[in-house]
């Protein structure tokens, strides 16, 4: 059947998305109100910084701590520890005030991140017993809520490092203590951290799913199709256009799955969906300018790839086994959902 009009169906539009309720709802509300106050009140935020925990970054690489062979955790420090390090390395204590507020733990401890890129990396690592690791690699090492925390911490630090000047006047901007905004010293314009909306979609023909790779991806890694929203587009329009542009297919239905903040290239807001194409109109017509390859994968191939928790190693010259993004990436969630759904309908 030729689809002449937009026939994108959002299935089960009224199906509720369950949120993980905190054990005590009122503590969640009070935490959120507390964070709100810290964003508005510089003095309160400076006080919170003294009793909070700090994640350190060095030139945007997070500090992790090896806990056992191959297992890493985010290294969290106290303000007093950081002051000690700054003092020993001859850095002004004021560097601490360039920390940005990231959140608040379940036990009501405010969390900050700080980039110590002006200090010698090896010296900080030695003093902390940790190691600064590239963020993409860190995503393979961190488990649970630590990956989104470190992503948020890095993204906010990056935003400050690249928004020191007003784009209208060219004059310096000044941040508030929490780091939730910057204001132009000349015209008073307020800037807030931004994310670029991206739609990510796992296309299926009912039996197989479509994954693609860009030439810049690590060898052997395939992911779901993704693309930035154009100005004025809806999620459905971006999804339909990106699939058409990148692989020459027309999707027939879509279903929302979830969303995530992704710190690359400069903070994206990923909206993740499943979509279907008709099995008799599933021939890929690759846009070689954007993608190196796009292929249909069977359930068996996907199940094998999902078992690999770290990128497979291959000898030089040998083809690398097919693998998928780490569990924190929403592409992984889409692939896992598709595999579970397809298996249960076999
Ligand atoms: N979290 C995940 O699971 C996951 C998986 C796949 C891709 N992604 C992310 O999705 C993002 C978009 O995917 P893509 O690269 O295929 O997009 P894309 O297909 O839209 O192609 C990228 C190109 O779009 C243009 N572009 C338009 N608006 C842009 C903007 N705001 N920022 C940067 N470039 C812009 C640029 O020319 C760029 O080269 C990437 O940043 C990637 O890291 C995340
Ligand atoms: Mg793309």
The model's pLDDT over 223-237, given as tens digits with 9 standing for 90+, comes to 999 999 999 999 999
SS3 category, 67: strand
| Residue at 63 is within a domain | yes
Domain assignment present for 267: yes
In a domain, 184, yes or no: no
Are 154 and 64 members of one domain? yes
Q: How far apart are the first and last CA of the chain?
A: 25
Ligand 1 close to Cβ of residue 334 (< 6 A) = no
Best probe residue, ligand 1, of 162, 194, 198 (max atoms within 8 Å of C-beta): 198
Residue-wise over 137-152: b if at least 16 C-beta within 10 A, else e?
bbbbbbeeebbbbbbb
The answer as to whether 2 is a domain residue is no
Residue 313 sits in a domain whose CATH number is 3.90.79.10
Residue 190 lies in a domain: no
Q: How confident is the model at residue 316 (pLDDT cuts 50, 70, 90)?
A: confident
Same domain, 159 and 202: no
- pLDDT at residue number 5: 36
Q: How far is the CA of 226 from the centre of ligand 1 (A)?
A: 6
User: Do 204 and 154 fall within a single domain?
Assistant: no
- Verify that 268 and 316 share a domain, yes or no: yes
Query: From the CB of 325, is ligand 1 less than 6 Å away?
Result: yes
My answer on whether 200 and 340 are in the same domain is yes
Place of tokens 């499943």: 274
Query: Looking at per-residue confidence, does 244 or 15 come out higher?
Result: 244
Nearest CA to ligand 1 atom 28: 228
What is the token pair recorded at 176? 């508030």
Residue 320, classed as helix, strand or coil, is coil
Question: How big, in percent rounded to 5, are the helix, strand and coil portions of the chain?
Answer: 35, 25, 40
pLDDT at 13: 53
Q: What is the pLDDT of residues 28-81, one digit of tens each?
A: 999 999 999 999 999 999 999 999 999 999 999 999 999 987 789 999 999 999
How many folded domains does the chain comprise?
2
Does residue 159 share a domain with residue 201?
Answer: no
In short, whether 203's Cβ falls inside 6 Å of ligand 1 is no
Q: Quick one: 82 and 144 in the same domain?
A: yes
Phi, psi dihedrals of residue 279, rounded to the nearest 5°: -60, -25
Does 7 map to a domain? no
For the chain, the farthest-separated pair of C-alpha atoms sits apart, in whole angstroms, at 72
Residues 120, 35 share a domain: yes
The CA 338 to ligand 2 mean position distance, Å, reads 20
Taking CA atoms, 226 is separated from 209, 320, 337, in Å, by 14, 23, 17
pLDDT of residue 20: 59
Q: Whose CA is nearest to atom 12 of ligand 1?
A: 227
Range of the domain at 111: 25-163
**Is residue 189 in some structural domain?**
no
- Per-residue tokens: 110: 């405010």
- CATH number of the domain at 47, please: 3.90.79
Interface pTM (ipTM) of the complex?
0.97
Do residues 262 and 325 touch, judged by C-beta distance below 8 A?
A: no
Same domain, 144 and 244: no
For residues 99 and 208, membership in a common domain is answered with: no
Indicate whether 256 belongs to any domain: yes
Residues 151 and 202 in one domain: no
Q: What's the CA-to-centroid distance between 113 and ligand 1, angstroms?
A: 26
- Ligand 1: which of 196, 222, 228, 238 to mutate, most ligand atoms within 8 Å of CB? 228
Question: Is the distance from the beta carbon of residue 262 to the nearest atom of ligand 1 less than 6 Å?
Answer: yes
Atom of ligand 1 nearest to the CA of 229: 28
Q: Same domain, yes or no, for 95 and 209?
A: no
Is the backbone peptide bond immediately before 232 cis, with ω within 30 degrees of 0? Answer: no
Best residue for ligand 1 mutational test, from 158, 226, 269 (most atoms within 8 Å of Cβ): 226
User: Does residue 329 line the site of ligand 1, with CB under 6 A?
Assistant: yes
Asked if 20 and 39 touch (Cβ cutoff 8 Å), the reply is no
3-state secondary structure at position 231: coil
Q: Is the CB of 330 under 6 A from ligand 1?
A: yes
């Amino acid at each position: 059947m030729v689809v002449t009009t937009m026939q994108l169906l959002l299935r089960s539009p009224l199906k509720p998305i369950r949120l993980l309720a905190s054990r005590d709802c009122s503590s969640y509300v009070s935490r959120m109100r507390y964070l709100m106050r810290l964003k508005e009140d510089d003095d309160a935020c400076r006080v919170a910084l003294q009793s909070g925990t700090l994640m350190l970054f060095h030139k945007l690489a997070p500090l992790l701590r090896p806990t056992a062979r191959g297992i890493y955790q985010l290294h969290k420090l106290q303000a007093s520890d950081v002051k000690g390090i700054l003092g020993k390395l001859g850095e002004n204590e004021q560097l601490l005030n360039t920390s940005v507020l990231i959140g608040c733990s379940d036990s009501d401890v405010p969390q900050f991140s700080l980039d110590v890129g002006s200090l010698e990396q090896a010296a900080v690592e030695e003093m902390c017993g940790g190691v600064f690791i590239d963020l993409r690699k860190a995503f393979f090492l961190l488990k649970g809520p630590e990956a989104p925390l470190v992503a948020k911490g890095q993204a906010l630090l990056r935003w400050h490092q690249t928004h020191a000047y007003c784009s209208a006047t060219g004059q310096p901007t000044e941040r508030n203590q929490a780091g939730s905004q910057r204001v132009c010293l000349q015209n008073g314009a307020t800037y807030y951290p931004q994310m670029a909306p991206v739609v990510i979609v796992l296309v299926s023909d009912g039996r197989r799913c479509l994954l693609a790779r860009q030439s810049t991806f690590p060898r052997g890694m395939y992911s779901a199709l993704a693309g930035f929203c154009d100005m004025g587009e809806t999620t459905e329009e971006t999804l339909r256009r990106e699939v058409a542009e990148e692989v020459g297919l027309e999707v027939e239905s879509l279903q929302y799955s979830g969303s995530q903040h992704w710190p690359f290239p400069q903070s994206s807001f990923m909206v993740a969906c499943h979509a279907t194409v008709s099995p008799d109109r599933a021939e890929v017509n690759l846009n070689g300018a954007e993608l190196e390859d796009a292929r249909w994968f069977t359930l068996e191939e996907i199940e094998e790839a999902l078992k690999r928790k770290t990128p497979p190693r291959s000898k030089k010259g040998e083809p690398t086994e097919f693998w998928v993004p780490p569990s924190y990436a929403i592409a992984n969630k889409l692939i896992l959902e598709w595999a579970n759904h397809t298996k249960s309908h076999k």
